[in-house]
Structure 1
Amino acid sequence: MTTDAVAGLGVRRWGSTPAGGTAVLALHGLTGTSAVWADLADRLEAAVVAPDLPGRGASVAVAAAPGLPGLAQAVVRVVDELGPARVVVVGHSMGAFLAPLVVELLGPRAAGTVLLDGGVPPERSLLHRPLVVRALFGVLTRRLVRRWPDVDGYTAAAEGRAATDDPDLREGFRAWSEAVLRPDGDGFRPALDSRRLVADGVDSLTRPSALDLLHRSGAPVHLLAAAHGTDDRRPPFLSDSAVAAATRVLPGLMWERLAANHATMLFHPAVAAAVGRTAAG
């Protein structure tokens, strides 16, 4: 599926929103694009709107104000142009940290939020100091944003064991890579803005929690936390104690732990089930 230009961003859309209807607004993670939502869209009856966030994919050259607030403003302009009456905001990883800011700007149009392995602050450690986070994301982007001889090589670097451990998901991961890679000589280069990625990664993990914005919205919030980190051998990004801390800010928070890792959870049917329930009101 190709992207259309909507309010200056590249946007993928599945289905159509009837007048006065509900749309699902899907926000991808740090190095992803709107292509990561294809599985979710295939499982839903509701219309799905997924922008490539500024600095990525079809929006790689789009300028936006700094940090997550700048991304939120760009995303809400897409919603304003498309005009759905109600919006369920779904965010994965960085997109989950972005989601509360989008909900605040949407106001009464926000019908609910589904957070996928993000949005909730992880347990604090020395690794979450701004300078450390900046250095780690700097290494990540230098490793990814270069010329690659083939799609499979990029996929292995971008997704690691998550893309190779489950043969049934390999084509899905490869499609994610194909959406972000652009021809470069006899190889490929990802359409990713390194500086934007590093700045957004630092902002996601070091800015104060925005969960209180979801509490003030009054709309339902559902959290799905992966049982594993970047692959099935690693501990979860969000521990039980991190989730418990989030429930003190959001007493009505619904949550579940998925038997998946940070990346493979996007193919898990429980994600579509949670989004569908939220969209149904």
Structure 2
Amino acid sequence: MTMYEELTVPVPGGELAVLHWPATVPDAPVVVAVHGITANALAWGAAARLLAGRVDLYAPDLRGRAASRTVGGPYGLARHADDIALLVEELGLGPVRLAGHSMGAWVAALTAVRHPSAVARLLLVDGAVSFPLPPGIGADDALAAVLGPALARLSMTFADRDAYRDFWRKHPAMAEWTDELDAYTQRDLVGEEPELRSSCVREAIRVDGGQVLLDAEAAGAVRQLPCPAELLWAERGLMDEPQGLYDEQRLAAADLPIPTEAVPGTNHYTIIATQTLADRLLT
């Protein structure tokens, strides 16, 4: 694990937890990285290692998750975007290179639209591009179908920390188990044995997930960006299935105003642990 420090930033409702991997070179760019819907800041641990101190990297636990779980509602993607802008302002970072993965990509795009002075450029990672739900499919059913065990675990308890490790090791999209993956999953746990549970606040996940699927402001943000941006997308899906969230045909039909690029050999989770992503954050 690359060493980091833990900070807090005041936001409406409490203190947002932020991890900081300091740069080790002069004049390094500042990157703020936003995690996915049931994730936490240590989702960016592998990226921090690959960046090797060449950027000043900040990653928050979004409200309702991990060390920010006590920061209450209202939730929603616009609230997260405003929290990111407050982080940039409070820490005197802006304008920053802003990256977002999965739901974090919608949050990053909204941050740029709502707070253009905070963002110099955007890297959207397997997210931010919305498509209509099939007829007759509600947001709750769609979210459960897409997220699978990542969502199901929110109603589960675990006897000990090894039980939680075993749960994640069985996830079909997880790569070779690493210290970074271990730290990321362990950061999610709260409570006491034998009833450990995920830190994610269910209401936060419900509200945020519904907006990823249905919110017009979030869906439109990628078409209103005030700064340079690009989208990296994974070839495979959240369960490592051959069909990912995006493919060349779907993205071509979307007629996006930003460049897009597939990252070969990745799924929705492994894409943020690639050299391709690290290289994009440096350019």
TM category (shorter chain) comes to: 0.7 to 0.9
TM-score normalised per structure 1: 0.84
Q: Cα distance 1:12–1:82, how it changes in 2: closer, same or farther (>3 A)?
A: same
Deviation at residue 227 of structure 1 after TM alignment = 0.8
Equivalent residue number for residue 156 of structure 2: 146
Equivalent residue number for residue 36 of structure 2: 29
Contact 1:155 1:173 in 2 (8 A): no
Partners of 2:100 and 2:9 in 1: CA distance: 19
Partners of 1:238 and 1:128 in 2: CA distance: 19
Q: Cα distance 1:174–1:139, how it changes in 2: closer, same or farther (>3 A)?
A: closer
Equivalent residue number for residue 278 of structure 2: 272
Query: Which runs of 5 or more structure 1 residues have no equivalent in the other structure?
Result: none
Structure 2 counterpart of 1:39, one-letter code:
A
Partners of 1:272 and 1:149 in 2: CA distance: 36
1:111 alignment partner, SS class? strand
Query: Which runs of 5 or more structure 2 residues have no equivalent in the other structure?
Result: none
RMSD over aligned Cα atoms: 2.9
Partners of 1:139 and 1:199 in 2: CA distance: 18
Partners of 2:104 and 2:56 in 1: CA distance: 19
Deviation at residue 96 of structure 1 after TM alignment = 0.8
Indicate the percent of aligned positions where both proteins have the same amino acid.
26
The alignment covers a number of residue pairs equal to 272
Give runs of aligned pairs for residues 1-281 of structure 1, distance below 5 A.
1=4, 3-7=6-10, 8-15=15-22, 22-44=29-51, 45-122=54-131, 124-126=133-135, 129-133=138-142, 141-158=151-168, 160-163=171-174, 166-167=175-176, 169-186=177-194, 188-208=196-216, 210=218, 212-246=220-254, 248-250=255-257, 252-277=258-283
TM-score normalised per structure 2: 0.84
Q: Report the structure, 1 or 2, having the larger helix content.
A: 1
Partners of 1:206 and 1:153 in 2: CA distance: 35
Partners of 2:26 and 2:263 in 1: CA distance: 35
Partners of 1:135 and 1:213 in 2: CA distance: 24
Partners of 2:152 and 2:219 in 1: CA distance: 31
Q: Cα distance 1:190–1:221, how it changes in 2: closer, same or farther (>3 A)?
A: same
Measured against aligned partners, the alpha-carbon deviations of 1:77-113 in whole angstroms (never above 9, x if no partner) come to: 1111011132111111110111111112331331111
Q: Cα distance 1:43–1:143, how it changes in 2: closer, same or farther (>3 A)?
A: closer
Structure 1 counterpart of 2:39, one-letter code:
G
Deviation at residue 123 of structure 1 after TM alignment = 6.6
2:108 alignment partner, SS class? helix
Measured against aligned partners, the alpha-carbon deviations of 1:45-85 in whole angstroms (never above 9, x if no partner) come to: 11111110010001001024331111111221111101113
Partners of 2:111 and 2:88 in 1: CA distance: 10
Q: Cα distance 1:212–1:51, how it changes in 2: closer, same or farther (>3 A)?
A: same
